[in-house]
Chains A and B, each alone.
Chain A
Amino acid sequence: GAGVSQSPRYKVAKRGQDVALRCDPISGHVSLFWYQQALGQGPEFLTYFQNEAQLDKSGLPSDRFFAERPEGSVSTLKIQRTQQEDSAVYLCASSSDSSLSNQPQHFGDGTRLSIL
């Protein structure tokens, strides 16, 4: 596709359920990022992939959060045993360059997760 695609756009889950959020990056993009954006805040870094390798997961809030990108394209962010504080918009971004930092990130529209 032309841009980064995220699904679902909206997800409502009961506390304690597991959820999986999907990100389809721009074709050929090496770098993939996940961010968590709380209401009224800027995005906060969760994790970074270069191809299939997860090079940084320092932003994941707890061991209930898990991300993968097994074939170096599509990525899934999984949250186990969801809690109310997990409610946020989860943004995925991809970038064309593995040399990083000065390359702009292309963002998807996000998944709005609401935990009841």
Chain B
Amino acid sequence: AQSVTQLGSHVSVSEGALVLLRCNYSSSVPPYLFWYVQYPNQGLQLLLKYTSAATLVKGINGFEAEFKKSETSFHLTKPSAHMSDAAEYFCAVSETGGFKTIFGAGTRLFVKA
């Protein structure tokens, strides 16, 4: 069975500091992995996805994530936080050939001025 664990329900960084949001997954088959962002009272927006083409994936708004099979991780990073990055971030996994997507519980990112 697939599952996703996001370490830390809340992360706080200063503007300009590195953002690191952690995600670990479990899957019995090679997974597809996603990061979504959710702003208040809105739906989810795709930041980036991993589909086995490259282990380092670049997304929108300066975010990137690295797939590490040995660590079953897909952590999200951004070199320099901006106030507009404050939102809820969800890591998600789906199985190749399947259609059910499993989401983590989310990490709320706070950015301090």
In Å, the complex CA distance between A66 and B62 comes to 40
In Å, the complex CA distance between A80 and B36 comes to 31
* A104 within 8 Å of B (CB atoms): yes
Residues 88-113 of B contacting A (Cβ, < 8 Å): 90, 92, 94-106
CB-nearest residue of chain A to B9: A40
Q: How far is the CB of B35 from chain A (nearest CB, A)?
A: 11
CB-nearest residue of chain A to B47: A104
Q: Which residues of A contact B104 (CB under 8 A)?
A: 42
* A113 within 8 Å of B (CB atoms): no
When each residue 33-68 of chain B gets 1 if its CB lies under 8 Å from chain A and 0 otherwise, what string results?
A: 010100001111110010100000000000000000
Residue of B36, B44, B46, B90 ringed by the most chain A CB atoms within 10 A:
B44
With A41-B106, A42-B90 known as contacts, the answer to whether A105 contacts B101 (CB < 8 A) is yes
Contacts across chains A and B counted by CB atoms under 8 Å: 70
* A102 within 8 Å of B (CB atoms): yes
* A100 within 8 Å of B (CB atoms): yes
Residues 58-116 of A contacting B (Cβ, < 8 Å): 58-59, 91, 93, 100-102, 104-110, 112
Q: How far is the CB of A79 from chain B (nearest CB, A)?
A: 19
How many A residues touch B, CB cutoff 8 Å?
28
When each residue 65-78 of chain B gets 1 if its CB lies under 8 Å from chain A and 0 otherwise, what string results?
A: 00000000000000
Q: Which residues of B contact A109 (CB under 8 A)?
A: 41-43
Q: How far is the CB of B63 from chain A (nearest CB, A)?
A: 14
Residue of A43, A110, A112 ringed by the most chain B CB atoms within 10 A:
A43
Q: Which residues of B contact A48 (CB under 8 A)?
A: 99-100
A-contacting residues of B (Cβ < 8 Å)?
A: 4, 9, 32, 34, 36, 41-46, 49, 51, 90, 92, 94-106
| A and B contact pairs by CB, cutoff 8 A, 18 listed | A35-B103, A40-B106, A42-B92, A42-B103, A42-B104, A43-B44, A43-B90, A48-B100, A56-B99, A59-B100, A93-B43, A100-B94, A100-B97, A102-B32, A102-B49, A102-B94, A106-B46, A109-B41
B-contacting residues of A (Cβ < 8 Å)?
A: 4, 31, 33, 35, 40-45, 48, 55-56, 58-59, 91, 93, 100-102, 104-110, 112
